[in-house]
Homo-oligomer: A and B are copies of this chain.
Amino acid sequence: MQNDMNSGTSLGLIRAQPPLVHCITNYVAMNIAANVLLAVGASPAMVHAPEEAGEFAAIADALTINIGTLSSTWLEGMHAAVTAANASSKPWVLDPVAHHATGFRRQAVAKLLDGRPTVIRGNASEIIALGGGVSLGQGVDSRDSVEQAEEAAVLVARRYDTVVAATGVVDFVTDGHRSVHIAGGSAFMPQVTALGCALTCLVGAFLARNPEDPFAATIGALSTYAVAGEAAAEGADGPGSFSWRFLDALSLLEPTVLDARARIVSL
């Protein structure tokens, strides 16, 4: 591992000093995203109106933007928040949900990318499409494998000078130069809606406590998910019983256990 701060240390810092994570996310994800952040120890806040999104982003420790249930007013709020985050040097994460599905989304994401996100997190189809490739995805679920998205992820990371995470069965994280695989999680995870969106918010929490190293912060958030997901799957019979066990697992995860169980392979 090349990163300076390990994942467990970051998790400990989140618990010791809960970061205020400003999430502009979709209606489907809001509740589970807030619960994921609370379970880990962070303090979520969902604030989207153009009248206040900028003011709030300046107060928060990190910002996350997810275009899942996009509308033009929300897009205004997103831009206000991104501008304020950049002006006050706060890290921010972009989750370009189904950006390849419609013209409205493609244009929205193109403009959001001008705001230079610190991290981009998406599924394989979304990352492939960001790189200019043709993905099989039509809606919000990926129909491509992470492996097929790795080349696009590196390309996107270099083009926008950002960290890119393509998440799936095995996650891929790259800053365009260094790359890792993160194994773990559970087959139940894609059966629970918006867990990917909630992960984007968790990346925000890790960035807030490790802003100097977005690559390590992203790895920290994804490892947390992978380890908690494995633990939660043990007693689960389906996505319903997995879902609440996952929140329990996140809240019970010890920093040392995170570091011991994380399966991160540098490439």
Contact = CB atoms under 8 A, between A and B. Distances in A.
A43 interface: yes
Nearest to A39: B239
A94 interface: no
Given A238-B249, A239-B251, A252-B238, A20 B194 contact: no
A59 interface: yes
Contacts of A101: 45, 47, 52, 55-56, 59
Given A49-B71, A51-B72, A55-B101, 15 more contacts: A31-B194, A38-B239, A44-B193, A45-B140, A47-B101, A49-B70, A49-B104, A51-B71, A191-B251, A237-B248, A238-B248, A240-B245, A240-B247, A241-B244, A243-B244
A31 B34 contact: no
Nearest to A105: B52
* Copy total for this chain: 3
A46 B28 contact: yes
Given A59-B138, A248-B237, A68 B46 contact: yes
A2 interface: no
A39 B138 contact: no
B35 A239 contact: yes
